[in-house]
């Protein structure tokens, strides 16, 4: 067989053999797909004899192929190409107009957003103006009253001095009677409760949401097209979503834990507390699931705001962006938001019984339910559309007892409390921690692994078993670690976002209750104080 690399390329239409210049080509060697002469058939191609075909016999076949090509080209392909060129030119001419229209749409919407923002700002300023007038009038009235009292007392004091010197017995008697009728109580300065304004934290994402979403055509738009080049990189918008539970904790540690937490404040507080939501300015909302009220307190325990609802409030949460308070009601199966004027507004209702809730940084509402056959974790929009649902631990009686979102990864941690057997008493429930990704795919189940428990009366230690692990609250701190309040062992534990035990932060004498995290990783802990009275401690467990 001839080496194809050595075959000379024959020019198109040339009837002479390129190897044997004096001979005409008369055969087709189908093995090599070349035209050959008689000499070629006896030399270089003699082994391909069975594949030879005379040119005269295949002319009609080849002619038909050419005719088919001409017909397809003239009747189909050329008209299609002309049509495509015309269509593309039309699209090219309208492209500039279309982009101008879309740019104008963005700019117009920007103007509307600014106008609406100005309206909201004007509304807020107007409220403050009206409240300032009312408050200043109240205080000025108080001052006027006090000045009137002061003037009266000065006059009476002068008068009674004269009475003591020159007055008759009757005048002394009448003066004393007059003194006894005087109101000696000086009213305090009126307490002014100003409306709170909490600046938005994640402004950019909310402003983009208000302006409108831009969906990029990632299937054909390529980077570099402006310069006439091409690139395999395409603009892609991806959600920032963790695929690993411990994403925050697998990084190099940039923090240092104290040997024991530093107590910043402590104070007694008599009411029961089942949820603590510290605010960014050093205060905290407190909730007791058996009550129809929530209270806002200062960091030394003074109650400065009380909100009452017409139904039992089961759980509370603060919107991390707006600072607004949200709560859920078991009886009404409702989810509500508290307005800037501290007025509850029902946002939506659900079919299940809500037990706890958590408002996320994305403006979603995570709801944990209570149920006999099953209990769930569900993610809603603020107007009640269900985005994701997960049935906790398959099925059975139970309740979601606490919910928290990680500010680093977006993962969601919950306390699952499942009924084991017997009466529906706290001792017959088994609790553990579940960490979900932002779409409620379970990542971690933590049942106390790594925690060491000292055996009473002995110096040896043993690991905590799941039946002795009793978390009642779970909260994420700014490092992506999880703080757990253990009710049975009266401890506060710290684990990583991946469910790895780090340290027992605090062991209380007894009655360890719920916890909450304030900005700067200040831990609000409900417990029994050394005085034996119930109260709260504000703890710092990271070194500054």
For residue 468, give the nearest of 435, 491, 445 by alpha carbon: 491
Q: Where are the domains of the chain?
A: 257-542
Cα separation, 84 vs 82, in Å, equals 5
Torsion angle (degrees, nearest 10) of CA 74, 75, 80, 81: 0
CATH topology of domain 257-542: Neuraminidase (2.120.10)
Residue 124 phi/psi, 5-degree rounding, is -60, -45
pTM: 0.56
Question: Strands 412-419, 429-436: parallel, antiparallel or unpaired by DSSP?
Answer: antiparallel
pLDDT at site 434: 95
- Return the half-sphere exposure (C-beta side, CA atoms, 13 A cut-off) of residue 136: 6
Cα separation, 449 vs 455, in Å, equals 17
DSSP code, position 16: B
Bridge partners, 147 (sequence order): none
Does 216 score more than 90 pLDDT?
Answer: no
**More confident position, 234 or 538:** 538
Question: How much is the average pLDDT of 392-397?
Answer: 82
Instruction: Provide Rg for the chain, Cα atoms.
Output: 41
Phi-psi region of 490 (alpha: psi -120 to 50; beta: other; left: phi over 0): left
pLDDT at site 253: 52
Cα separation, 82 vs 21, in Å, equals 45
Question: How much is the average pLDDT of 220-230?
Answer: 36
Question: How much is the average pLDDT of 99-108?
Answer: 89
Tokens of 90: 């039309």
Where do we find the tokens 């129809």? 292
Cα separation, 514 vs 274, in Å, equals 6
Tokens of 149: 């009292």
* Average of per-residue pLDDT values in the chain: 84
For the sheet containing 52-54, what is the strand order? 34-36, 27-29, 52-54
Give the number of residues written for the chain: 544
Q: Provide the pLDDT confidence category of residue 200 given band limits of 50, 70 and 90.
A: low
Residues whose CB is less than 8 angstroms from the CB of residue 149 and which lie 6 or more positions away in sequence, other chains included: 186
pLDDT at site 240: 39
For residue 363, give the nearest of 203, 230, 478 by alpha carbon: 203
Does 263 score more than 90 pLDDT?
Answer: yes
DSSP code, position 19: S
Residue 91 phi/psi, 5-degree rounding, is -65, -40
Model confidence pLDDT, tens digit, residues 445-464: 999 998 876 555 444 456 78
pLDDT at site 142: 86
Model confidence pLDDT, tens digit, residues 288-324: 988 999 999 998 889 999 999 989 999 999 999 888 9
Residue 26 phi/psi, 5-degree rounding, is -130, -15
Tokens of 39: 């000499």
State the sign of the Cα–Cα–Cα–Cα dihedral 489, 490, 495, 498. Answer: positive
Give the least confident one: 22-31, 76-85, 222-231: 222-231
Does 354 score more than 90 pLDDT?
Answer: yes
Considering all CA atoms of the chain, what is the largest pairwise distance in Å, rounded to the nearest integer?
164
Cα separation, 418 vs 382, in Å, equals 28
Q: Do 468 and 489 meet the contact criterion of CB atoms below 8 Å apart?
A: yes
DSSP code, position 360: -
Tokens of 137: 């009038």
Model confidence pLDDT, tens digit, residues 404-457: 999 888 999 999 999 888 777 777 889 999 999 999 999 999 999 988 765 554
Does 338 score more than 50 pLDDT?
Answer: yes
For residue 515, give the nearest of 277, 297, 294, 268 by alpha carbon: 277
pLDDT at site 188: 79
pLDDT at site 494: 96
């Amino acid at each position: 067989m001839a080496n194809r690399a050595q075959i000379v390329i024959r020019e198109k239409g040339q009837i002479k053999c390129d190897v044997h210049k004096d001979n005409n080509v008369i055969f087709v060697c189908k093995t090599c797909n070349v035209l050959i002469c008689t000499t070629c058939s006896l030399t270089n191609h003699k082994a391909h004899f069975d594949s030879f075909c005379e040119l005269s016999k295949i002319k009609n076949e080849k002619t038909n192929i050419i005719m088919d090509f001409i017909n397809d080209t003239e009747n189909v392909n050329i008209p299609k190409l002309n049509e495509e060129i015309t269509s593309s030119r039309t699209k090219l001419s309208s492209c500039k107009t279309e982009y101008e229209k879309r740019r104008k749409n963005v700019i117009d919407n920007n103007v509307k957003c600014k106008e609406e923002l100005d309206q909201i700002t004007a509304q807020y300023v107007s409220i403050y103006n009206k409240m300032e007038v009312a408050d200043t009038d109240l205080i000025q009235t108080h001052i006027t009253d006090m000045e009137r009292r002061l003037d009266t007392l000065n006059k009476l004091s002068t008068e009674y001095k004269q009475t003591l010197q020159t007055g008759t017995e009757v005048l002394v008697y009448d003066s004393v009677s007059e003194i006894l009728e005087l109101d000696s109580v000086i009213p305090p300065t009126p307490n002014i409760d100003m409306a709170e304004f909490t600046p938005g934290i994640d402004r950019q994402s909310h402003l983009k949401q208000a302006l409108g979403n831009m969906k990029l055509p990632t299937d054909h738009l390529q980077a570099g097209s402006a310069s006439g080049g091409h690139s395999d990189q395409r603009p892609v918008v991806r959600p920032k979503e963790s695929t690993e539970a411990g994403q925050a904790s697998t990084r190099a540690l940039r923090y240092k834990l104290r040997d024991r937490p530093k107590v910043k404040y402590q104070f007694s507080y008599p009411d029961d507390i089942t949820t603590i939501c510290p605010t960014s300015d050093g205060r905290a909302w407190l909730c007791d699931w058996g009550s129809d009220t929530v209270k806002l307190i200062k960091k030394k325990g003074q109650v400065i705001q009380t909100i009452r609802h017409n139904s039992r409030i089961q759980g509370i949460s603060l919107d991390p962006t707006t600072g607004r308070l949200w709560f859920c009601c078991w009886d009404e199966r409702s989810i509500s938001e508290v307005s800037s004027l501290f007025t509850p507004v029902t946002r939506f209702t659900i079919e299940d019984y809500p037990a706890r809730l958590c408002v996320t940084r994305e403006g979603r509402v995570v709801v944990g339910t209570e149920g006999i056959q099953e209990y769930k974790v569900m993610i809603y929009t603020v107007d009640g559309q269900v985005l994701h649902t997960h049935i906790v631990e398959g099925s059975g009686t139970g309740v979601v007892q606490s919910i928290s979102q990680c500010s680093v990864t977006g993962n969601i941690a919950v306390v699952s409390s499942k009924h084991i057997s017997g009466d529906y008493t706290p001792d017959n429930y088994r609790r553990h921690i579940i960490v979900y990704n932002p779409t409620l795919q379970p990542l971690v189940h933590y049942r106390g692994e790594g925690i060491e428990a000292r055996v009473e009366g002995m110096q040896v230690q043993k690991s905590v078993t799941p039946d002795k692990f009793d978390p009642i609250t779970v909260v994420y701190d700014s490092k992506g670690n999880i703080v757990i309040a253990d009710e049975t062992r009266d401890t506060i534990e710290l684990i990583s976002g991946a469910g790895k035990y780090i340290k027992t932060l605090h062991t209380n004498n007894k009655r360890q209750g719920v916890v909450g995290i304030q900005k700067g990783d200040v831990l609000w802990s409900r417990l029994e104080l050394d005085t034996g009275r119930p109260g709260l401690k504000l703890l710092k467990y990271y070194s500054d």
